Structures are given as C-alpha cells and as structure tokens.
Amino acid sequence: MSGRLHRGPCLQVNYRYRFRVTPQQIDELIDDLRAGKLSDEIPAHGTLATVRQHIPADRHVGAQDPDDVTSGPAWLDGKAAL
C-alpha cells in the first residue's frame, strides 16, 4: 500500500484497495456493494483471502489442543518470558 500513496485519494473495502477514487465512484461503489455486483472481487466482511492452503503432512507444525499443553514453548528453553 505505501508504494501507491501517489494514487490518491484511495479507500479500502474489506482489505481491498481502490485508488484515484472520485466522489461519483464512491457512490457507485456503495451501490454495487449493496447490489452484490462485486462479490467476486471484494470478499465478505472479515474475509482476508478465499484461497485454501494445503500443507503436506511432513510440513505440519504439530499443533496441540491448548488444554493438552503441560509446559511452556520450546523456544523459551526454561527462560522467563519477557
């Protein structure tokens, strides 16, 4: 985003940016969002990405249920947390 500040005025809708926006374009954008015309371009509120990631079994981090954790993180190695 910082590299495009010269393309203002700009706005953000659900983590998607619009550059060089005019007042008329803002009105059109709001109308299009309400009508659902941009659902393929701008995801629903709170959605950062719609791409599913696949992690191969040999690359898993070994996540555990928080209730099953009995010790601190390995990277602390007995040191007090800051």
User: Per the omega criterion (within 30 degrees of 0), is the bond before 66 cis?
Assistant: no
Is residue 21 a contact partner of residue 11, using CB atoms and an 8 Å limit? Answer: yes
Q: 63-78: per-residue pLDDT in tens?
A: 777 788 887 777 776 6
Q: 1-39: per-residue pLDDT in tens?
A: 455 556 778 888 887 888 899 999 999 999 998 998 998
**CA separation (Å) from 27 to 19, 31, 33, 34, 51?**
15, 6, 10, 11, 29
State the sign of the Cα–Cα–Cα–Cα dihedral 51, 26, 11, 19: positive
